[in-house]
Structure 1
Amino acid sequence: MRRSFASLALAAAIAVSGTAGAKPARKPAPAPVALSPTAPKLIVAISVDQFSADLFAQYRRLYTAGLARLQQGAVFPSGFQSHAATETCPGHSTLMTGDRPARTGIIANMWFDPANPRAEKRIYCAEDERDPASTPDDPVVSAWHLKVPTLGERLKAVSPASRNVAVSAKDRAVMMMGGHDIDAAYWWRRGAFVTLNGRKISPAVEAVNGLAADMIKAGDAPMALPEWCAPRDRAVAAGSKTVGTGRFPLEAGKEAGFRTSPRIDAATGALAARLVDEMKLGQGKAPDVLSVSFSATDYVGHTFGTEGAEMCIQMAELDKTIGSLLDHLDAKGIDYVVVLSADHGGFDLPERLTQQALPGAVRVGSGLGPDELAAAVTAKSGVTAPGRLLYSDGPFGDFYFSAALSAEDKAKAQAALVEIARAHPQVAAAYTKADLAAVPMPGGSPQDFTLIQRARASFDPQRSGDVVILLNRGVVPIPDPSRGAVATHGSPWDYDRRVPMLFWRKGLAGEEQPAPVETVDIAPTLAAMLGLVVPQGEFDGRCLDIDGGAGDTCAPKR
């Protein structure tokens, strides 16, 4: 019989004491500010990595546990990550800040700084590259690059007794949802949950790590395929790989099989529940914030695609995991509010989409790699550079020229790159830094943003590339699925931008609002529920009325 990690983790009682580990000393706290008398005691902010609005629509009638319960609250099926760079770090940076990447400064998972004195010019979004021990692949994890405060940080600034906690399999999700001033921060690294440098692992985390280690050592049986997943159970060839019929067997000693399966979500949920107990979250006089990012949907989407048996199993298991966490909070008698959304959507592998007669679903062809484009730029403009001429993290997104170029040569190279890119049959648009800087920050409905407005919402003049390239709809920027992921995200198109947004609280009247909203609306809405006053203009988003027509969610409550 397959063991349930969630049930094992939640059933194993442990003694808890102390806090979630040593923290750096804080400056003297300001005098507390009175919050709303109706404020919930605990904000539970859930992100499901790569949970597109399409995936939610496809499975929403089949959920029976946590995701079924959340649909009884306020449902916004057309939430938008309104920017173009639909990756994990930028998307997570919007959820608890209320700001788009243009303001958060988180333009991508990776960007480049050609003038950086270290030999490695790549910069990871959640590293502190000032530390000589940090590299993009083995970072000193930090929220250093996040330019704005999170909701948890804003709350702590006026309510010093409030705690700000974040957990995920991904360090970047923890840092972007938690921010700089964080009481407990845990993510998965090489087979265990770890925390920030200088802090100790708490007993709750040690217990979950022990359970995970036992399962990885022993292995685990394949997961059952729900009956309603049968139509998805079909093999599809993607290069030398075959996907679509997987059941997630866990080979003994293979940590990767644990991490790229629903088990990592179960472990994350169990850790969140144990931290609620250990830190008594939502059980004190001041409200707390718990951010939980579930990463398995993203891992499954990249490894197997979004339309096979693997994703169907993941949807069933995610529903149970969220249900277990909510049941745990109920048993504690906590007054809590939940918001669930996603950092971005996702797109299935083109080999399966082609079988489904979806026109335009193709893999990226040749000519768009940084070395190919650099050679083409040199041939067209005559510009060269010592070392690398052009840096990028793939065949789309931000492209950076060598810091050694003169202003005149850079202008020539930029013009050549834009002309070359725009002539490529798989490129939808190419913009220079000057093009994007000249565009006002977009407003109005996010579904109506033009391509350049979507790119502008991701643009930071200090960090964005000299040229930004956007691919056509349906072009998957993975040329060879045999070498790694079979599917991905990151485009400016709605299959990557549109995500669900669900709010739930006991007693909250249910409603569904189909009009487009933005993920940057989450933080202003939660701030209003707390009675947290934020100066006008500090949020890109707006407060949403989630009172089922009562019309006073966003009214001050004192």
Structure 2
Amino acid sequence: MALAATLCVGGASTVLAQNSAPPVPKVTAATPPPKLIVMVAVDQLSADLFAEYRDKFTGGFARLASGVVFPSGYQAQAATETCPGHATILTGSHPGRAGIVANNYFDLSVAREDKRIYCAEDESVPGTASGGGKYAPSVNHLLVPTLGDMMKARDPKTQVVSVAGKDRAAIMMGGRQADELLWLAPNGLTSYRGTTLSPTATQAGAAIAAAISQPRPGLALPADCAAHDIAIPVGDKGATVGTGRLARDAGDFRRFLASPEADGAVLATAAALRQVRKMGEGSATDLLIVGLSATDYVGHGVGTAGAEMCLQMMGLDRELGDFFARLDATGIDYVVALTADHGGHDMPERNRQNAWPAAERVDRALAPDALGKAVAEKLGLPQPLLYGDGPFGDMYLSKALTPAQRTAAQAEILARLRAHPQIEAVVKADELTNRPFSKQAPDTWTLHDKLRASFHPDRSGDFIVVLKPRVTPIPESGLGYVATHGSAWDYDRRVPILFWRKGLAGFEQPNAVMTVDIMPTLAALTGVPVDAGQIDGRCLDLLSGADSSCR
């Protein structure tokens, strides 16, 4: 947490005082609610990635692994993307209930020319578009309350602060009532348009901007990372990934985001805001939300199994350890929950070298624009015919078609898709509309169960395309992103779910639970009432033995 000194967070004297404090009593059902909830979401931290590095962690992850560990948590839905995943964590609702069906969906009825809708925008703002930097960030599309919203409704003195690397992470976890809601930007930190940052956020943003403006040499490779240091060719220009050291030039914001320094900046900002606002020191329980995005940027840019990801994991472990040590120094009784918005799959080129020769990249012909053009030309239909955000997921037929044209177009498109060797299934909207959400354990769900969990009848496509396992939906590896997520398969669905509190006896539960279980679990710890009929998760009992934390 390199910015901590700049932001004047913590201090050696308080650390010494905390180290000399008496032992903390064991947490029981009678223990009062914690004064502070810290919710940490690590973007693209798959259960596989956590398991791979678990025995290497010595900092923050090691502490959390000594608590209550659910190594087989699930982002249960098929749409394993950033926005839907973050929306599950503090709402207790599947994306199909929350309305966040994907990072981007299409609304062909909107007035603007750009029909694509970003999950965290207000498309009604004049002159905006869904592209990066062109949209107006907003929480409008989230249809359900967050834990912070409910905590503030119960007790207005509750403080809710949400800080993240990405706007959609901060917004989907922070909800509508956050006191401060911030995310990283080239100038340091930003928030909703027209929002004036607090003095502390302004100071933190200036420190982050100063850090971005400075070049950074490559990081030293720890011995534990040596086995990952293997060059993998990408593209057709002789480039490789796998041996990078996360160096960057001055002002390179994108590379800053893909480094432990970005996560450290978010954690330092969160710690500074907690200190200035005295969160956890009042009569109410406060909620501090932290979204850490660097793991996702590394995973997309260079894959999940190279030296770069090893450096990121080791760096994030240190940053989390520093952050928790600063919280310890306050003496506040706090509880931490950590999970991820989705998992991730490594690039197929490295998979093929590592005993999975069937891994491949998607056929360009499956892109919605290419497929729609081919079908429109064959049938003599108007273009554009088909809308979609990629070669899988939600697909939308043009509203300009007559009923007969629509029937013919859909029949031709579905026939082509179902005959393609890379397609697992194509599921029409009417197969999901009246299907209830599954109440079974998420590791037993059918494909239709997974698709239903992220289906909303007003926002999802006319049909949904599912690629076969380990088909990477990026057609070539030289486009800046070499690996991704978003599939209905467990490498993208499985994430760790961890809870820690001083005095909480640790245990490990390997059975499948879900990220929608986190909100009711934390609500139970603080006594916030939750209508079980209005959410999809359940309270997880964090007390080993006859006692229960689900009160």
Query: In the alignment, what sits opposite 2:349?
Result: 351
Provide the residue aligned with 1:47 in structure 2: 41
1:6: how far off? 4.2
Does the CA-based 8 Å contact 2:7-2:203 persist in structure 1? no
Kindly provide the amino acid, as one letter, of the partner of residue 471 in structure 1: L
State the distance in 1 between where 2:403 and 2:457 align. 16
Give how far 1:214 is off: 2.2
Match of 1:497 among 489, 493, 496: 493
TM superposition shift of 1:11: 4.5
After superposition, what is the alpha-carbon deviation per residue over 1:361-396, rounded to whole angstroms, capped at 9, x for unaligned?
11111320112211343366x2612x4111111110
With over 3 angstroms needed to count, the CA separation of the structure-2 counterparts of 1:101 and 1:383, relative to structure 1, is farther
- TM-score for the superposition, normalised by structure 2: 0.93
Q: C-alpha separation between the residues in 2 aligned to 1:40 and 1:252?
A: 42
More divergent stretch after superposition (404-413 vs 117-126): 404-413
Q: 1:533 to 1:361 in 2, by over 3 A?
A: same
Matches within 5 A, 1:108-187: 108-137=102-131, 138-187=134-183
Partner of 1:274: 272
Partners of 2:476 and 2:110 in 1: how far apart? 31
- Paired AA for residue 503 in structure 1: F
Percent identity over paired residues = 50
Partner of 2:325: 327
Q: Distance in 2 between matches of 1:549 and 1:46?
A: 27
| 1:106 alignment counterpart | 100
Q: Aligned residue for 1:419?
A: 415
Distance 1:146 1:443, change over 3 A: same
SS state of the match for residue 329, structure 1?
Answer: helix
Please, which moves more after superposition, 466-475 or 371-380? 371-380
The answer to whether residue 64 in structure 2 is matched with residue 70 in structure 1 is: yes
CA contact (8 A) 2:299 2:483 kept: yes
Secondary structure at the counterpart of residue 437 of structure 1: coil
Question: Residue type of the partner of 1:76?
Answer: F
The residue number in structure 1 matching 2:230 is 234
Bigger Cα displacement from structure 2, 206-215 vs 506-515: 206-215
Deviation, 1:356, is 0.6
TM superposition shift of 1:355:
0.4
1:8–1:211 Cα contact (<8 Å) kept: no
Q: 2: CA distance between counterparts of 1:266 and 1:206?
A: 17
Amino acid at match of 2:303: G
Q: Tell me the amino acid that sits aligned with residue 248 of structure 2.
A: L
Partner SS, residue 365 of structure 2: coil
1:259 Cα deviation after fit: 1.7
- TM-score w.r.t. the length of structure 1 is 0.92
Deviations 1:141-174 (A, max 9, x none): 1110000000000111111110111110100001
For residue 329 of structure 1, what is the amino acid of its counterpart? L
Stretches of structure 1 that go unaligned for 5 or more consecutive residues are 15-35
Distance verdict in 2 for CA 1:491–1:9, change over 3 Å? farther
Q: Given the alignment of the two structures, is residue 87 of structure 1 paired with residue 81 of structure 2, yes or no?
A: yes
Pick one of 536, 539, 544 that aligns with 1:543: 539
Contact 2:280–2:334 (CA<8 Å) still a contact in 1? yes
Match in the other structure for 1:248: 246
Instruction: Kindly state the Cα deviation for residue 203 of structure 1 after the two structures are TM-superposed.
Output: 2.0
* Equivalent-residue separation in structure 2 for 1:480 and 1:373 (angstroms): 18
- Matched residues in 1 for 2:518 and 2:196: separation? 32
Maintained 8 Å contact 2:3/2:207: no
Measured against aligned partners, the alpha-carbon deviations of 1:301-356 in whole angstroms (never above 9, x if no partner) come to 00110000000000011111111111111111111110000000000011111001
Query: CA 1:383–1:336 in 2, change beyond 3 Å: closer, same or farther?
Result: farther
CA distance in 2 between partners of 1:495 and 1:63 (Å)? 21
CA contact (8 A) 1:418 1:432 kept: no
Counterpart of 1:501, as a letter, is: I
Distance verdict in 2 for CA 1:550–1:383, change over 3 Å? farther
Aligned to 1:22: none
For 2:363 and 2:423, the matched residues in 1 are separated by: 11
Q: Is the 8 A contact 2:186 2:209 kept in 1?
A: no
Q: Give the C-alpha shift of residue 252 in structure 1.
A: 2.0
Separation (CA, whole Å) in 1 of partners of 2:10 and 2:94: 41
* Structure 1 counterpart of 2:509, one-letter code: Q
Contact 2:86 2:173 in 1 (8 A): yes
Shift of 1:418: 1.8
Local SS of the residue matching 1:188: strand
AA partner of residue 355 (structure 1):
Q
Return closer, same or farther for 1:103/1:383 CA change in 2, 3 Å cut-off: farther
**Aligned with residue 453 of structure 1, among 431, 449, 453:** 449
Amino acid at match of 1:185: L
Partner amino acid for 1:480?
E
Q: Which residues of 2 match residues 174-323 of structure 1 at below 5 A?
A: 174-239=170-235, 240=237, 241-323=239-321
**3-state SS, counterpart of residue 537 of structure 1:** helix
1:370 to 2:353 alignment? no
Cα distance in 1, alignment partners of residues 407 and 162 from structure 2: 43
SS in 2 for 1:139: coil
- 1:384 maps to 381
Structure 2: tracts of 5 or more residues without a match = 12-29
For residue 117 of structure 1, report the CA deviation from its aligned partner: 1.1
Deviations 1:68-92 (A, max 9, x none): 0001110000000000010000000
SS in 2 for 1:5: coil
Q: Secondary structure at the match of 1:520?
A: helix
Task: Give per-residue Cα distances to partners, 1:464-522, cap 9 Å, x unaligned.
Answer: 00110010000001111212201100010000000000000111000000000000000
Q: CA deviation at 1:207?
A: 2.1
Residues of 2 paired with 1:437 and 1:72: CA distance? 42
The 1-side partners of 2:241 and 2:454 are apart by 33
SS, match of residue 344 in structure 1: coil
Select which of 427, 433, 437 maps to 1:437. Answer: 433
Distance in 2 between the 1:445 and 1:221 partners? 46
Number of matched pairs: 529
Q: Quick one: distance in 2 between partners of 1:189 and 1:139?
A: 14
Check whether the contact 2:9–2:326 (CA below 8 A) recurs between aligned residues. no
Q: CA RMSD in A?
A: 1.6
Distance in structure 1 (CA, Å) of the matches to 2:429 and 2:403: 14
- In the superposition, relative to structure 1, how do residues 376 and 438 fare at CA in structure 2: closer, same or farther (>3 Å)? farther
Most deviating of 502-511 and 219-228 = 219-228
Name the CA distance, whole Å, in 1 between partners of 2:539 and 2:200. 35
1:12 CA drift (Å): 7.2
SS in 1 for 2:491: helix
Question: 1:49 & 1:453 partners in 2: Cα distance?
Answer: 24
SS state of the match for residue 185, structure 1?
strand
Q: Secondary structure at the match of 1:439?
A: coil
